[in-house]
Structure 1
Amino acid sequence: MEYVLRDTDIFDPILAEKFDTVILNETHQFEAGKVYKFIASFHVDLIKELSIFDRFILPAASDKINKRKKSGEKDKMYDVLGFQLKQLENILLKNNIEFYSSTIQGDELESTHIIKIEIVEDKSERVTTRKGRKHQQGKVSSVVPSKPYTVNLVAKLSSERLSELYYKIFNVIKDKKIMSEILEIDETENENLLFQAFVKEYGEMWLTTKEREKELFDKLINKTTEVLEKYKEQ
């Protein structure tokens, strides 16, 4: 579900009340027993002038800045965004909408005077196993001042990490026919096609759970061993 709050922004002291007014007649959309992800987006341009966050008065109990000897403009920005996210979370709790994940983020919206709210079902596994025991994961709240910057950074880190993995593994082999077979594509001498095939099949390895990383790594090692053994026997 998506809702757009108009004539407001991230500095609105009654933002949560406006959200409550909108969600009040929508509670039937949320099924009991289901868990949801919550994302509140504001226009990313609002963080260009960090000094504007100083105008937002945080309640004394929520003002972490009072507890710091020194604070910068970025500290205040995170405090304000975190406070507003907490206020919005309280509206979810008030309306019995269960959630494990909540995010407030700057994004490229069509106007600086709107807040976009997205609430979607969270189908991710919430139970992890540690040393044979099951543990329920807690709620995760995220403050992302600039989603475009974060996406670009993640893409850059992903590319660098995957390139490192690719060349570490395939620099030893060098034979592109064998590499093609390992990656299960038609034989090619095109390095870019080989790398893209690697990313498609094993791209999750750079940033995932340890279990998933091990699963993919084992799959790659087993496939590599299988193909190399075949060529060894010829």
Structure 2
Amino acid sequence: MEYILQDIDIFDTTLADKLNNAMMTTMDAFEQGNEYNLTVSFHESLLDDYSRIYMLNIPDIDAKNNNTMEDKIHNLLSFQIQKIENIITQNGINLMAVGIQGETLEVLNMIKIQINKVESEPKKSKKNPLKVTMIIPSLTYLDDLAETAIEIILNECVIPQIVLESLGKGNDVNRKSHGESN
């Protein structure tokens, strides 16, 4: 199930309440006893608005952990995902993974919320299931970071040479790269 909330952004502290209102007409689509994953997406460029982040007053935030811009962003995203998770679980939906992520959406003032059924075999014991919470301020940054790391690994790693040698081609490739012939 996907919900698109228009004319709202990640700074709106009533986001969870607005999602709750949107969900009221679709609650029968969620089956009792099933497990779901939650993903909340917002436009990542909003986190470049330092004046709004700096001025934001988030309820129940410990002041000593709210000093740096990174702290403030983390506190904002933590607050939003916790409030949304609470609203959804109060509606009887069992969440196994929850996440909030910045990405490039169509417009700035939009929140996209996806609640997807987990397709897996039932667990024998559901007393204390493990729940995963992810906070990713920028998917673009994470993608760029992963791409850079992979490039470094592939360019500087000896694994490709080892693979070539195991195929019996390592020495041929080495000779050719040093100007030698067979």
TM-score, length-normalised on structure 1? 0.63
Give the Å deviation of 1:174.
5.2
Of 165, 170, 173, the match for 2:163: 170
Aligned length: 166
Of 109, 117, 123, the match for 2:119: 123
Report the counterpart of residue 61 of structure 2 in structure 1.
Answer: 63
Q: Secondary structure at the match of 2:102?
A: strand
Gaps of at least 5 residues in structure 1 are 128-134, 178-234
Report the counterpart of residue 7 of structure 2 in structure 1.
Answer: 7
Q: Partners in 2 of 1:139 and 1:151 — Cα distance?
A: 24
Q: Partners in 2 of 1:26 and 1:78 — Cα distance?
A: 31
Q: Partners in 2 of 1:145 and 1:37 — Cα distance?
A: 18
Report the counterpart of residue 147 of structure 2 in structure 1.
Answer: 155
Q: Secondary structure at the match of 1:41?
A: strand
Q: Secondary structure at the match of 1:172?
A: helix
Q: Partners in 1 of 2:159 and 2:7 — Cα distance?
A: 49
What letter is aligned with 1:33?
G
Q: Partners in 2 of 1:153 and 1:123 — Cα distance?
A: 30
Cα shift readout 1:27-65 (whole Å, capped 9, x = no counterpart): 111111211110111111101123321222111xx213x
More helix by share: 1
RMSD of Structure 2 on Structure 1 (CA): 2.6
Q: Could you say which structure has the greater relative contact order, defined with CA pairs below 8 angstroms and 6 or more residues apart?
A: 2
Q: Secondary structure at the match of 2:32?
A: coil
Q: Secondary structure at the match of 2:166?
A: coil
Q: Partners in 1 of 2:158 and 2:111 — Cα distance?
A: 40
Q: Partners in 2 of 1:45 and 1:147 — Cα distance?
A: 11
Q: Partners in 1 of 2:121 and 2:101 — Cα distance?
A: 24
What letter is aligned with 1:139?
K
Q: Partners in 2 of 1:125 and 1:161 — Cα distance?
A: 36
Q: Secondary structure at the match of 2:10?
A: coil
What letter is aligned with 1:113?
N
Q: Percent identity?
A: 32
Counterpart contact for 1:50–1:77, Cα < 8 Å:
no
